[in-house]
A and B are shown apart, each in its own frame.
Chain A
Amino acid sequence: MKFGRFLTGLGALIVVGVAGAFVYAWKPKIAPIKPPDRGSFHQALVEHGAKLAAVGNCTACHTNPGGKSFAGGLTIPTPFGTIYSSNITPDAETGIGTWSEAAFQRAMREGVGRKGEHLYPAFPYDHFTNVSDDDNRALYAFLMTRQPVKATPPPNELPFPLNVRLVLAGWKMLFFRDGAYQVDASQSEEWNRGAYLVNGLGHCGACHTPRNALGAEKASLHLAGGEAEGWSAFALDGSSPAPVVWDKDSLYTYLRQGWHPDHGVANGPMGEVTGNLGLLPDSDIRAMATYIASIMGEPSAERRAKSDKLLEEIKSGPITSAISADPSASGGKGAVIYEAACAVCHENGRPQPFGGLDLRLSSTVHAPDAQNAINMVLYGLPAASGRTSAIMPGFADVLTNDQLNDLLGYLRQHFTDQPAWTDVVQRAADTRTGKYHVSVRPSDGIERGPSNIGAEDQ
């Protein structure tokens, strides 16, 4: 009897809770509009929007490699299931053609679609909420003047209850705070501009901040290193694995040109980011570098000294000429592989970005986990189509997982002071089977556009 009463009580509570959540969760529909005329947008506004869309890297998720720009349909694997990106071309039926500017502003600010539906946070509105109304207006003008494409992405593959969008209201209640960027008056204007770009439209944290079990960024570990499309997105705070310490200038150079002589070439999804940033004025890139350098903070005297010493050593040439590649010695197999397959480029003295990086400088080889090293060795860096670019051949078809393990063991031992990675064989197996989904991108371009022959999903 008592138990029955408890159940009734519980039931009532759930009903009230659900009703309350419903009220909180309910968002009104915004009336559809007739797709606006191209001529109704000022050209200058559209051009400004193009730059902003580049900062937002919108094309990366909203374009399928080889498909039409912004037509969506890209597979986005998440720990919860697969999401397919939406069509954000101004097609009235399948895109956002019927969205008014108010609907667009609300999607960016609150993560709610025109019909009032909550959007999945794969769309990083936790960052985009910072974007100013003016910038959203320009983005809207840019997107509404793209070529409309009729294309409906496949339905998301999410298990119950995640396939019920109302659940997202709960997620938002827990993890999402809407509101425009708040200027930090104690910092310079440049710093604030950088913070606005990095934490807002640039959504750097979407990859570079670790996430909790429910897929939200851990606020306390802001930019402390995360994951992106099967790649480790290295820490941008004091825990950066870079052997040579980053500073404002090197960050600027790297973001500006996609590579830096002391750090190498952007790869994986970062290649697209630096490719996209190409549209931005120098001042904005400098602002981002300023902000990120401040997040990294001043390195310790010890770290600085180590970094300076390394740069000194690099000047006097490669170190491995002294190594005897004896396959029967312990670690010897890895040395043999390195000598035959890697050293020809990584030690031939050809400068960045077209020569191989001296691996003493490589963040990938110094990283806490082996994933990026595995990705690089297996899939390399494909050539960008139609222009000069850094490339690296992949070795997936020649190295077994054990041989890869030998190689990475050698690299870790000879080029770093870091402990050996212990899970290379398993990780490599999961990477090859696709259990761990990796996207492979050329180094220097916005390669999801129409003729992106270099990009593929592994």
Chain B
Amino acid sequence: MKLNVNGSTHEVDADPATPLLYVLRNDLELNAAKFGCGLGQCGACTVMVDGKAIFSCLTPILLLEGREIKTVEGLGTIDSPGPMQQAFIEEQAAQCGYCIPGMMMRAQALLQSKPDASDAEIQTTLETNLCRCGTHMRILKAVKRARELMKTAAMAPASGERKV
């Protein structure tokens, strides 16, 4: 079946019951999303589908025909990181980094639909994502910074420099 990931269409040869996470990592070699629990309890596998954050470990690809999937790889590149990535780099928010892609995607989904999300909303939204290293304060700081960077990015003339 066909899957639309980060703007391009991929023909995937996998059982429709396969969770998206495995298809992303094994078939498409997009390794940002992580396997933490496989039970929808840790958020390490969070990606976006049609702008909403979802647990890819619990989402069979059967559900995703014709829908837009976005992973951290779709937020920017190493040379040209997107605002969310930039903010995490600037705040040095990763400890081991395992939870970070999930945190980024859930935060991205929030700020895309609600650019002015309050600090409290950010905290509540990220509640479903666990960080075993305890770097929560930096993660929150990074997301708050991303909130500002995303606004600037949205206002900047389309130079092609920093794509969101």
Q: Give residues in A with beta carbon < 8 Å to B.
A: 325, 327, 333, 336-337, 339-341, 344-345, 382-383, 391-393, 395, 397-400, 403, 453-454
Contact = CB atoms under 8 A, between A and B. Distances in A.
A344 B124 CA distance: 26
B17 A344 contact: no
A341 B59 contact: yes
Given A340-B19, A344-B38, A453-B124, A397 B62 contact: no
B63 interface: yes
B58 A336 contact: no
Contacts of A382: 127
Interface residues of B, number: 22
Contact of A341 (B16, B53, B60): B60
A350 to B, nearest CB: 9
A424 B18 CA distance: 25
Given A344-B38, A393-B41, A453-B127, A399 B58 contact: no
Contact of A345 (B17, B39, B52): B39
Interface string B47-64: 001001111001110110
Given A340-B60, A397-B49, 17 more contacts: A325-B17, A327-B16, A333-B62, A336-B17, A336-B60, A336-B62, A337-B62, A340-B58, A341-B58, A383-B128, A393-B40, A393-B58, A395-B58, A398-B52, A398-B55, A398-B63, A454-B127
Contacts of A336: 16-17, 60, 62
Contact of B55 (A383, A391, A393, A453): A393
A345 B123 CA distance: 26
Interface in B28-78: 38-41, 49, 52-55, 58-60, 62-63
Contacts of B52: 397-398
Contacts of B49: 397-398
Contact of B54 (A345, A391, A397, A400): A397
Contacts of B17: 325, 327, 336, 339-340
28 contacts: A327-B62, A333-B62, A336-B60, A336-B62, A339-B60, A340-B18, A340-B19, A340-B59, A341-B59, A344-B38, A344-B39, A345-B39, A345-B40, A391-B41, A392-B40, A393-B41, A393-B58, A397-B52, A397-B53, A398-B49, A398-B52, A398-B58, A398-B59, A398-B63, A399-B63, A400-B63, A403-B63, A453-B123
Contacts of A395: 58
Contact of A337 (B38, B41, B55, B60): B60
Given A337-B60, A344-B38, A398 B19 contact: no
B152 to A, nearest CB: 28
Interface string B2-41: 0000000000000011110000000000000000001111
A333 B64 CA distance: 12
Nearest to B43: A393
Contacts of A333: 62
B100 to A, nearest CB: 20
Contacts of B55: 393, 398
B55 to A, nearest CB: 6
A383 B54 CA distance: 17
**Nearest 7 A-B pairs (CB), nearest first?**
A393-B40, A340-B60, A397-B52, A398-B54, A336-B17, A341-B58, A340-B17
A382 B123 CA distance: 15
A68 B58 CA distance: 37
A391 B40 CA distance: 10
Nearest to A400: B63
Contacts of A397: 49, 52-54
B157 to A, nearest CB: 33
B68 to A, nearest CB: 13
Contacts of B124: 453
A390 to B, nearest CB: 11
A345 B18 CA distance: 16
A207 B52 CA distance: 34
B46 to A, nearest CB: 11
B123 to A, nearest CB: 8
A382 B41 CA distance: 10
A87 B69 CA distance: 46
A344 B58 contact: yes
A454 B62 CA distance: 30
Contacts of A344: 38-39, 58
B57 to A, nearest CB: 8
A454 B87 CA distance: 27
Among A340, A382, A400, A403, the one with the most B-chain Cβ atoms within 10 Å of its Cβ is A340
Interface in B97-131: 123-124, 127-128
Contacts of A403: 63
Nearest to B128: A393
A357 to B, nearest CB: 14
Contacts of A327: 16-17, 62
A453 B124 CA distance: 6
Contacts of B63: 337, 398-400, 403
Nearest to B16: A327
A383 B127 contact: yes
B143 to A, nearest CB: 16
Contacts of A399: 63
Nearest to A335: B17
A455 to B, nearest CB: 10
B107 to A, nearest CB: 15
A40 to B, nearest CB: 39
Contacts of A341: 58-60
Contacts of B38: 344
A454 B123 CA distance: 11
